[in-house]
Amino acid sequence: MKLINRYVAEVGRRLPLVKGRKDIENELRSTLEDMLEDRAQKSGRTADEAMEIELLTEYGAPQKVAETYDPTPYLVGPRMFPMFIMILKIVIAAVTFGMTIVTAIQVVTLSPMTGMELLKVIGEGLLNIVSASIAAFGNIALVFALIERFAPASEFKLDEDEKWDPISLMKEPEPEDIKAWEQILAIVFIFIVISIFNFNPQIIGINYMTGNEWKVIPILSEAFFRWLPLMNIAWVAEILLNGMLLRAGKWQISSRLFSIAIKVFQIVIGYFLLTGPSIITVTAESLKAIEGFDAEAAQILGTLAQQGARGVIALVMFLTAIDIIKSVVKMFRQKTSM
Amino acid sequence: MTNSESLDNVVLELRRGVIVLAVLSQLSDEQYGYSLLKLLSDQGLEVDQGTLYPLLRRLETQGLLESVWKLEEARPRRYYVISAEGKKLLPKLKKEWAGIVSVMKKMLA
């Protein structure tokens, strides 16, 4: 029985952290002793070490036996796997998208670059995407593994467990209706923007006090105001579009086409702003000129402001491009459903 | 995967489905693990120990079985018997099984 005791202890050591480990060990010992006794009776001889070895060999390696008692042998089980994959796809796509934007902004803001510098920035961007994706994967897997272990199935109902009603299929697809308040709000907002940039540009500036006097450094540069007439055209067109929508009460092919045209125009303006001289006056030098401004902080802030401005333009251009794609898709859907 | 492996897997799946019913049906009288194993084997259903013992624990956790340690025999043994909950479930499982057998008989005839 010495070997059986050692075998049971070996299995016990490898058992997962489940309740009643001692019980499992005692039951296993009892079973093995029954089996050994049975074997001895059948063979007509007394149980010896050789018979024990034979029995234990048949019963299997301690590790394998211990594994059969693991109630959750999966990191993420079948119950949660579809949800795990879905979230993983969304997060990895978002991470890749975000890091690509960051890399694109770097490429734009650091230009002009030599070929090697460009390759380096792109290479680093790719590495960042890979490492961020791996980190996201690890974190999501960790969260799901914890839920798998600590949230019993009865307490963690997934969407597919909920009652589904086929009547939901009979509901008409969302119409192209617009919400009037959104259009009104947009018109008001565009008016404010037009009036600020055209008539009160001094509002956008850095206010600071020197002695007893407030001073203002304008933020927007001359380069910005050079493109203001084009921006005004785009804004007025936006007001017209919102007016059209308010009157029609819904999106139509004509309003979609008009909206796409405005957005393309906005991207063109964005391109000029991005590739031309900086649209903001905040530079390391202009900040250093402010009394009491730390030179190092001025350097960092100035660089950040310059790169940030171009980054924002690039981001707005990108989001506008996405909007165009969405509008085109919606327009085709609308066309096919007519 | 070879044909033989595929066959083994399918057979394993088929057997896995019936073990719960077989175990519950044999525990109207209390049995300890090894005696249950032999009881099933004597009736032609070979079940691996690595399958049976964790299954007994799971069924007990689900409230379908009850167990008690008995110390009066040659060695301490854990005896299992079907619980009131298990007794309520068993006829339903039997009915399901009869339905499956009847359908499959027709299909395979």
Write out pLDDT tens, residues A107-156: 776 666 677 777 888 888 888 888 888 887 887 888 788 877 776 554 55
Q: Does any domain span residue A175?
A: no
Q: Rounded distance, CA A279 to CA A275, Å?
A: 10
Q: Do A24 and B57 touch (CB under 8 A)?
A: yes
Print the domain residue range for B33: 3-108
Would you state the pLDDT for residue A161?
A: 52
A213 in the same domain as A87: no
Q: Does any domain span residue A16?
A: yes
Would you state the pLDDT for residue A147?
A: 78
Write out pLDDT tens, residues A31-49: 999 999 989 988 888 888 8
A144 in the same domain as A48: no
Task: Give every CB contact of residue A208 below 8 A, 6+ residues apart in sequence.
Answer: A214, A215, A216, A217, A290
User: Reduced to 3 states, what is the DSSP secondary structure of residue A262?
Assistant: helix
Would you state the pLDDT for residue A171?
A: 62
A108 in the same domain as A42: no
Cβ–Cβ under 8 Å, residues B64 and B88: no
Print the domain residue range for A143: 81-170
> What is the distance in angstroms between the CA of the first residue and the CA of the last residue of chain B?
29
Residue of A nearest to B58 (CA): A71
Would you state the pLDDT for residue A175?
A: 60
Q: Rounded distance, CA A15 to CA A250, Å?
A: 65
Would you state the pLDDT for residue A98?
A: 74
A162 in the same domain as A196: no
Cβ–Cβ under 8 Å, residues A288 and A260: no
ipTM of the complex: 0.83
Q: Does any domain span residue A316?
A: yes
Identify the CATH number of the domain in which residue B103 sits: 1.10.10.10
Cβ–Cβ under 8 Å, residues A128 and A103: yes
User: Which domain-ending residue is among A150, A170, A190?
Assistant: A170
Q: Does any domain span residue A111?
A: yes
Would you state the pLDDT for residue A49?
A: 87
Is it the case that residue A73 has pLDDT exceeding 80?
Answer: no
Number of domains in chain B: 1
Q: What's the average model confidence in pLDDT over A261-272?
A: 91
Q: Does any domain span residue A72?
A: no
Task: Give every CB contact of residue A324 below 8 A, 6+ residues apart in sequence.
Answer: A260, A263, A264, A267
> How many cross-chain Cβ pairs, A to B, lie less than 8 Å apart?
44
Would you state the pLDDT for residue A213?
A: 67
A146 in the same domain as A26: no
Burial class (CB in 10 A: 0-12, 13-18, 19+), A84: buried
Residue of A nearest to B76 (CA): A30
Chain A residues inside the 8 Å CB shell of B54:
68-69
SS3 of chain B: helix, strand, coil, percent, to 5: 65, 15, 20
Write out pLDDT tens, residues A180-233: 778 888 887 887 788 778 776 766 776 666 666 666 677 888 888 888 889 988
Percent of chain A at pLDDT > 90 equals: 13
Low-confidence winner among A34-38, A63-67, A278-282 (lowest mean pLDDT)? A278-282
Determine the distance in angstroms separating the CA of A68 from the nearest CA of chain B, rounded to an integer: 6
A87 in the same domain as A36: no
B57 interface with A at CB cutoff 8 Å: yes
Rg (CA), chain B: 16
Chain A residues inside the 8 Å CB shell of B69:
26
Q: Rounded distance, CA A282 to CA B88, Å?
A: 79
Binding-site residues on chain A for chain B (CB distance < 8 A):
20, 23-24, 26-31, 33-35, 37-38, 59-60, 64-65, 68-69, 71
Alpha helices in chain A (DSSP H): 2-14, 21-43, 49-59, 62-67, 81-110, 115-150, 180-199, 222-226, 228-248, 253-275, 284-288, 295-337
Q: Does any domain span residue A75?
A: no
Partnered with residue A218 across adjacent β-strands are: A205
Would you state the pLDDT for residue A212?
A: 66
Q: Do A28 and B32 touch (CB under 8 A)?
A: no
Q: Rounded distance, CA A88 to CA A133, Å?
A: 9
Q: What is the pLDDT along chain B (109 residues), one digit of tens a residue?
A: 677 888 888 888 888 889 999 999 999 999 999 999 999 999 999 888 888 998 999 899 899 999 999 988 778 999 999 999 999 999 999 999 999 999 999 999 8
HSE-CB for A134 with a 13 A CA cutoff: 5
Q: Which of B88, B68, B62 is nearest to B80 (CA)?
A: B68
Q: Rounded distance, CA A29 to CA A152, Å?
A: 31
A278 in the same domain as A137: no
Q: Rounded distance, CA B19 to CA A122, Å?
A: 58
A155 in the same domain as A85: yes
